[in-house]
Structure 1
Amino acid sequence: MDVDDQLGSYRGDRPGPIAGSGSGVEGAYGSGCPYSGARAGSTGAAGQAGGADPGTEDFDSHDPALAEDPFPAYARLRSRCPVSWSGAWGGFWVATRHAEVSEAGRDGVFRTGHLLADGTLQGVTIPPLGQTGRLVPLEEDAPRNLKFRKLLSSFYSAGRVRERMPELRRLARESVDAVISEGACDLVTALTLRVPGVVTMRDLGLPDDRWFEIDSLVHQALLAAPHDLAGARDHAQRITMALVEELDVRREYGTDTTDRSLFPLLLAGRVDGEPVSDEDILSMLYLILLGIDPVSSLTATALLHLEEHPSLRARLIADPALIPRAADEFLRWMSPVQGTARTVAEHVELGGRTLRAGERVFVSWASANRDEAVFADPDTVDLDRDISGHLAFGAGSHYCLGASLVRALFTVMLEEVLTRIPDYRVSDRGAVTWFPDITSFYGVISLPVRFTPRSG
């Protein structure tokens, strides 16, 4: 099957919001936001449904109307109700200003690993996926998550990423080599998905040529939820089985100095003095797989923006040294991970609202990164701005471990395109496709282009 045919498995139509869970972008944010009163229909641990609250907003991150451009919706929330209550998916809070998002990301009261009385994990999604296993270390809270992060930190350190730059550049060059004589390609399948996909296969000890197979399963699992949780679990199980096979081989035959994957590190690792369990190893490997798509969508969306803004493209072509800086500005501007959920561990004030123990919060990194109080003219890509405060990698003890690798992958892929096919142009704007659900990731997943063919 052709690669683009296989991509149809996650480019298909998505069902709309469940009835009553959202009404799209327009007309959904008409109320004011008084900083008092109870939310309507609260399902928090306190179990007390409040009366009608003018601060209730009809926000649903699964709404397909938000897929291509959620930012006007965030702007309305920031201006009218920066910490608002949504009635979608049983009810949850939405934090949209930089100050409150940063606080929720750093304050240990807002948990990623909260368990219900029956052992069901609330996790980082709204609605919860209903699993009992955790994505480690993302769905562990401090201090335990820090012990798992310590295991992984050396593998993804800035120093190790610098050592891998020749490998990353070679992969980007080979990807462009494969299409440059044709004068046309989909930059996502040819480059922005392939390069991080192959890198991730190597990190997990899998053959390079399995990247598309495994990543397609990830897409199917992501996009099945929350409407088809059984399907999502089935796809996730197929991924897990591939990882189990590799783990079993390493357990039986051991590793040696030629093994550049994560397995030697994880098999030798200790948490609280005990070997890392197979369950936790598999969970960490699965979480790493989820890092392929945000790198791809970040880079592809940046390439689309540069195609639409010739002066900005010309500036980066003329001065490639700006590309690493552009990585962080595009991260701020588009935020491939739009937000993650937290569960409130105890009653707490956030942005003038009282959040009760057990209630959920959608922490919108993307909205915080467009906060006018922090970033002037936030909807514009500005390579000269101070971007030190962006939250695209999260905050606190859950700050993205792969941040250095993300920046490096973006840099080598943009350099390769702007150096070797600088005149690329979108060949079919109607075929430019976006992730259909921003709760998975945000950004471009198909970018067909033409360019001047070259011999290599």
Structure 2
Amino acid sequence: MEAAHLPPRFDPHDPGLHDDPYPVYARLREAGPLCRGGPAQWVVTRYDEVAALLSDPRLGAELPEAYHRLSAGPGPAGDFVQRIMLYKDRPAHVRLRRLMGQGFSPGAVRRLRGRIGELADGLLAPALEAGRMDAAEDLALPLPIMVVCELIGIPPGDRAEVRPRAFDLGRAIAASGDPAGREAADRAVVWLRDYIGGLLAERRVKPRDDLLSRLLSAQEGDDRLTAGEIVDNVVFLFFAGFETTTSLLGTGCAALLGHPGVLDRLRDDPGLVPTAVEEFLRHDAPIQSRVRLVREPVTVGGRTLRPGRMLLLLIGSANRDERRFPDPDRLDPARSPNPHVSFGGGPHFCLGAALARAEGEIVFTRLARRVADIAPAGPPVRSPGPLRAFTRLPVALRPA
């Protein structure tokens, strides 16, 4: 193939992607729905193609062992990522999701809403009194960790010890390939498996109203989850249950800073909060891409992709596709419909979507009610890695 006819190449290491990837995405979409990635990899840029491929049975989420070994290493972290629901295809994925879903149900999330509100109030009270906070360190980071600990049943006295291990585990999920990250992830997986296994043994003797106890009783006919399946997938849910929501809360607060009129609209019409949360998710998606493996030939943008090729589905680009979203770079808290793909799609649609939405709605409802004005109080600092999140987001607050 002549170079002049090759589609453009997506470079995930482009430094411009860290602060603002959207101009890069726009240029790629303009060239076509498909661009080149790394070796044996194609990258999908437009909404229609990304949305369809998320549900396409010719693609798989169960990636080759070599892929995980290359990214997470040959140790416990590499073993762990191959066992969790995220990287399973049917029938194993269907079975795990049905059984896990019994413990991670919408009803369980509804019962948590009151507690989420109490936790949010406790974090916001000192910020409102002081007139300032770091929206990342003081709100977006601690709240989701507290909530997922409540959901799983992790005792309050253990949470400070669990938290750093969950961050290290994220290095395995992020597939960074960094040697120091691999070692930290290996240690974290060993520690968290042992810790969650100990809690599970306690729940067998004395069940409680928490996720671990519900998973022990989850059943489909004669089928139950094994202890190993519960431990590994709860370890994964612990990380997944806070990391994406941390990103949503941080980018949502950043959106309020960059669009001052939005907070006024939410205060005047609290009913807009749920649609505003969906718009925060679309406008700056926490997870910018999903990886899939081509298992059967599939045609994208006039090219037939052979089995064995990797596809990188650019969620962040699809959510800004002008072919699907009018004026896509504009933040519109009343945008409807808003069929963003930030939670994925198809059989791997995010199991924790209801919890993330609940936390977003509760936090931004409280900010709209209690904050008259929010403004930057220092330079923001984006988190390293693939998630759209912040490590620092200083803000000044004027109570309502």
Q: TM-score, normalization: structure 1?
A: 0.79
Residues 323-372 of structure 1, C-alpha deviations (whole Å, 9 max, x = no match) = 11111111111110111111111222122112111111111111111111
Residues 285-338 of structure 1, C-alpha deviations (whole Å, 9 max, x = no match) = 122122312211212211122122222221111112211111111111111011
Residue 60 of structure 2 aligns with which residue? 111
Residue 19 of structure 1 aligns with which residue? none
Report 1:38-437 matches (<5 A).
52=3, 54-86=5-37, 88=38, 90-115=39-64, 120=65, 122=67, 128-130=71-73, 131-133=78-80, 134=82, 136-208=84-156, 210-211=158-159, 213-223=161-171, 225-229=175-179, 231-251=181-201, 254-257=204-207, 259-270=208-219, 273-288=222-237, 289-428=239-378, 430=379, 432-437=380-385
Cα distance change, pair 254–158 in 1 and its aligned pair in 2 (3 A): closer
SS of structure 2 residue aligned to 1:425: strand
Cα distance change, pair 367–427 in 1 and its aligned pair in 2 (3 A): same
Cα distance change, pair 238–128 in 1 and its aligned pair in 2 (3 A): closer
SS of structure 2 residue aligned to 1:254: helix
Identity of aligned residues (%): 30
Q: CA separation in 2, counterparts of 1:395 and 1:327?
A: 18
AA of the residue aligned to 1:386:
S
Point out where structure 1 has 5 or more consecutive residues left out of the alignment: 1-36, 38-50
Cα distance change, pair 226–201 in 1 and its aligned pair in 2 (3 A): same
Cα distance change, pair 310–234 in 1 and its aligned pair in 2 (3 A): closer
Cα distance change, pair 161–222 in 1 and its aligned pair in 2 (3 A): closer
Point out where structure 2 has 5 or more consecutive residues left out of the alignment: none
AA of the residue aligned to 1:83:
L
Q: CA separation in 2, counterparts of 1:272 and 1:232?
A: 39
Give the total of aligned pairs: 392
Deviation, 1:394, is 0.4
Deviation, 1:149, is 1.2
Q: Would the aligned equivalents of 2:7 and 2:34 in 1 still touch at CA under 8 Å?
A: no
Larger proportion of helix: 2
Q: Would the aligned equivalents of 1:336 and 1:442 in 2 still touch at CA under 8 Å?
A: yes
Q: CA separation in 2, counterparts of 1:62 and 1:210?
A: 37
SS of structure 1 residue aligned to 2:86: coil
Q: CA separation in 1, counterparts of 2:213 and 2:229?
A: 15
Residues 172-191 of structure 1, C-alpha deviations (whole Å, 9 max, x = no match) = 11111243322222112211
Residues 415-449 of structure 1, C-alpha deviations (whole Å, 9 max, x = no match) = 22222233232111x2x0112232xx113332112
Deviation, 1:233, is 4.5
Deviation, 1:139, is 0.6
Cα distance change, pair 351–372 in 1 and its aligned pair in 2 (3 A): same
AA of the residue aligned to 2:377:
S
Deviation, 1:199, is 1.0
Q: TM-score, normalization: structure 2?
A: 0.89
Deviation, 1:105, is 0.6
Q: Would the aligned equivalents of 1:97 and 1:367 in 2 still touch at CA under 8 Å?
A: yes
Q: CA separation in 1, counterparts of 2:12 and 2:235?
A: 23
Deviation, 1:249, is 4.1
Q: CA separation in 2, counterparts of 1:149 and 1:442?
A: 26
SS of structure 2 residue aligned to 1:99: helix
Residue 393 of structure 2 aligns with which residue? 447
SS of structure 2 residue aligned to 1:93: strand
RMSD of aligned alpha carbons: 2.6
Cα distance change, pair 420–79 in 1 and its aligned pair in 2 (3 A): same
Q: Would the aligned equivalents of 2:372 and 2:399 in 1 still touch at CA under 8 Å?
A: no
Cα distance change, pair 360–297 in 1 and its aligned pair in 2 (3 A): same
Q: Would the aligned equivalents of 2:255 and 2:280 in 1 still touch at CA under 8 Å?
A: no
AA of the residue aligned to 2:288:
Q
Deviation, 1:78, is 0.9
Cα distance change, pair 73–219 in 1 and its aligned pair in 2 (3 A): farther
SS of structure 1 residue aligned to 2:36: strand
Q: Would the aligned equivalents of 1:221 and 1:233 in 2 still touch at CA under 8 Å?
A: no
AA of the residue aligned to 2:109:
V
Q: Would the aligned equivalents of 1:154 and 1:160 in 2 still touch at CA under 8 Å?
A: no
SS of structure 1 residue aligned to 2:384: coil
Q: CA separation in 1, counterparts of 2:339 and 2:4?
A: 33
Residues 25-52 of structure 1, C-alpha deviations (whole Å, 9 max, x = no match) = xxxxxxxxxxxx5xxxxxxxxxxxxx75
Deviation, 1:453, is 7.1
AA of the residue aligned to 1:96:
T
Deviation, 1:163, is 2.5
Cα distance change, pair 341–229 in 1 and its aligned pair in 2 (3 A): farther
